[in-house]
Chains A and B, each alone.
Chain A
Amino acid sequence: MSILEKIFTAIRGGAREVGEAIVDKNSVRIFEQEIRDAEDKLNQAKRDLTEVMAKEMQAARKIESLKAEVERHEGFAAQALEKGDESLAMEIAEKIVELQSELDEQERARKSFAAHVERLKGMIKKTGKTLTDMKRQLVMVKTTESVQQATTAINNNYASSGSRLLSAKESLDRIRQRQQDLDDRLAAGEQLKGELEGENLQARLEAAGIVSNSNKQAQDVLARLKAKKAG
């Protein structure tokens, strides 16, 4: 069963006590140990790989030099035969056989090192993948744990502060109401600003004599009434 399935089952089961961990601490510890073991294994494999690759290169260098040596001795043997020195040629031939067998041995060693390198590379790749996967799963477990602890802390905080959790609709109404209030205040501000500007305009128009001052109008009316009475 994957970790995610385990978590899912535990949550859906819902039979947990308050504060009881979804994934028990001991299995988390075991899992963390497995991850550390896999990491050690991976590091060991990487060290081994470096070592085996070095040996493979050494073998390759030795093979090159042995091949050159065989070639050189074949040249010597040909020269000895040309000079008709059969016994010297024979001695050289024996040396060639010796070199050849050493060469075969080095070839076998190189092949075996190369195979070992391939095996280690495969193992490193596989262990690396497994490790990434294990770490991802551990993150799920830890996150579940952390969310649970956080939820407990939040709930305790609400309980201790005595504040009631509002229903979503109440919360939304309050937020919307506050936004409406703000909008209203802004609108009222705009209106007031407009009115003030309007007053200013009225004053300027009066000063310019374009519209008559309301005080002046009253004086005019009074003057007219006085004139009428006198008449």
Chain B
Amino acid sequence: MVDLGNLAEQLTERGSNAADSGFFFEVNTIPGDVDVLQVVVEDRDELPIFVSASESQLLCIAYLFREDEVKEDAVADMHRAMLASNVPMPLSSFATIDGQYVVFGALSVNSGIEDIVHELETLASNAVDAIEAMQSFLK
């Protein structure tokens, strides 16, 4: 099991000191039944990434839009578009959680900090690209 507090510290350090990659981000901890980290990437404040840990994996999730934002007659087409982009989209996949469309990536709990940062960077870009790609299906 990953210690999210420890991970938060490492990520904060890495996110504020990204001179070479230019990938800056902030990390906040959201308390709850399970702790969740909220990662806000510079200039993408509206699409935070949420990181949670189970015993076997780290889940990184970016919420895209609610089901009710999708045009009623476009749902099936959008789902086909999502399925078709799932494999080409690097490291992330489309999914739904509680009525919200998301893109997410799952990592082994043994992943190193660089792997996690790479996942976050990729997911942040994928999330913006995904909304842009699905825009025509939205109200």
Q: Name which of B5-13, B16-24, B127-135 contacts chain A.
A: B127-135
User: Do A153 and B34 contact each other (CB < 8 Å), given the known contacts A172-B132, A175-B47?
Assistant: yes
**Taking the complex as formed, is A171 at the interface, i.e. its CB lies under 8 A from any CB of chain B?**
yes
Q: Which of A148, A156, A172, A174 has the most C-beta atoms of chain B within 10 angstroms of its own C-beta?
A: A172
Where chain A touches its partner, the secondary structure class is helix
**Taking the complex as formed, is B117 at the interface, i.e. its CB lies under 8 A from any CB of chain A?**
no
Cβ-defined contact, B36 with A154, below 8 A: yes
Find B54's partner among A146, A151, A179 (CB 8 Å cutoff): A146
Q: Name which of A161-169, A185-193, A205-213 contacts chain B.
A: A161-169
Cβ-defined contact, A150 with B50, below 8 A: yes
The total of Cβ contacts below 8 Å across the A-B interface reads: 90
CA of A66 to CA of B52 in the docked complex: distance in angstroms? 66
**Taking the complex as formed, is B89 at the interface, i.e. its CB lies under 8 A from any CB of chain A?**
no
**Taking the complex as formed, is B44 at the interface, i.e. its CB lies under 8 A from any CB of chain A?**
yes
B64 to A: closest C-beta gap in Å: 6
Q: Interface code B82-122, partner A: CB below 8 Å = 1, 0 otherwise? A: 00000000000000011000000000000000000000000
Chain A residues, Cβ within 8 Å of B47: 171, 175
* Total number of A residues with any Cβ neighbor in B under 8 Å: 28
CA of A168 to CA of B100 in the docked complex: distance in angstroms? 11
Cβ-defined contact, B54 with A143, below 8 A: yes
**Taking the complex as formed, is A3 at the interface, i.e. its CB lies under 8 A from any CB of chain B?**
no
Residues on B facing A (Cβ under 8 Å): 30-36, 38, 43-47, 50, 52-57, 59, 61, 63-66, 69, 97-98, 128, 131-132, 134-135, 138
